[in-house]
Structure 1
Amino acid sequence: MKKRVAAILFASVLALSLCACGGDTNSSTASADVESDATTQQAEDPKPVEETQEPEDTVPQEYKNALAKAEQYNEWAHMSKQGLYDQLTSEYGEAFPADAAQYAIDNLQADYKANALEKAKTYYYDMNMSKSGVYDQLISEYGEQFTAEEAQYAIDNLE
């Protein structure tokens, strides 16, 4: 049952990924608005660049693309860190090289506990699973691959 749910979810994520690439003209406008807001915010509140981040001009385009794709998945798919890495590197997913995917994971601003909670809500309310079943699905290597701490947070915060 868990494998079937995982397969359905993987197929759904893949289908949504393909649809997301389908030419929505509003996404580029929204992206430009976000970039504009980020630039304005940086000008108002300058923060030092973390030592682990490389200057923008030295980052290979493949790495930038992997990060952009990771941001898209994080926004609508609410994936775990491991699930996101697997999707970025999968030959059936995005097929990025491991180093580009790792760069994306390292530089993605994600709240994985919040992602786990969003997934838990889907399983609990939409798929009518028990809290125990949701927890198992969240931590399963065949499911969402969240950490035990992230899954427990999600279960504790289901309303």
Structure 2
Amino acid sequence: MSDQTKGKPGFFQSCLGCLGIIVILGIIIGGCSAIFGGDDEKSSNKPEEKSQQEEQKKAEETPEEKAAAEQKAKEEAEAKAKEDSIPMEHKSALKKAESYAEVMSMSKQGIYDQLVSEHGEKFPADAAQYAIDNIEWDWKENALKKAESYVETMAMSKDAVYDQLISEHGEKFTPEEAQYAIDNLK
């Protein structure tokens, strides 16, 4: 042999070493998954066993619990049927109304006007009215946010803010909502 090949492992020996390491890693991983993988027999996910367990739970329910569960299922079905019967345009108007209320702190009347405006959203009046009738919002809080904005950005007096809040050319809040805002300005 020449001096260059002495002390250096051959290609075949290097491959065997790598293969040995891979086999050992595979054994270790397999052993760990067997130890920590859990027992499939204990936690069976077979559909027939699940349905048997559900039936057993139903059999253990009292008549009152069964009646309550049936009533809840009936109410959910009615709510879904009602939701499905609402025209898409009405749902869209409600979603847009919620956006105006949240982002721009608008009043009910201001939102309605924006929804039906030919320069705004152009919803039909019935869709806009549905939105106004079904939106759940704290209008007094919106009036307060608007009042705070007027005071901070335009340095307006409380009387001027009140007038702007109730103005038909302004924010269109109710007098009660506007008074709440004025009373709670800091």
TM-score interval, smaller chain: 0.5 to 0.7
- Give the gaps of 5 or more residues in structure 2: 1-71
Measured in 2, the distance between the counterparts of 1:131 and 1:102 equals 32
**What is aligned with 1:89?**
116
Amino acid at match of 1:128: A
Displacement of 1:67: 0.5
1:3-152 superposed matches below 5 A: 55-152=82-179
Query: C-alpha displacement at 1:127, in angstroms?
Result: 1.1
Superposition CA RMSD, Å: 2.0
SS at match of 2:144: helix
- Larger relative contact order (CA 8 Å, sep ≥ 6): 1
Aligned to 2:7: none
Q: CA deviation at 1:126?
A: 1.4
In structure 2, what residue type is equivalent to 1:86? Answer: D
Gaps of 5+ in 1: 1-45
Q: Which of 1 and 2 has greater Rg? A: 2
Structure 1 runs (4+) deviating above 2 angstroms are: none
Equivalenced residues, count:
111
Letter matched to residue 115 of structure 2: L
Percent of pairs identical after alignment?
Answer: 65
Shift of 1:89: 0.4
Q: CA deviation at 1:125?
A: 1.3
Length-normalised TM-score, structure 1: 0.66
Equivalent position amino acid for 2:181 in 1: A
Q: Which amino acid aligns with 2:125?
A: A
The equivalent residue for 1:3 is none
Which residue does 1:9 correspond to in 2? none
- The CA distance in 2 between the partners of 1:61 and 1:72, in whole Å, is 17
TM-score, normalised via structure 2 length: 0.57
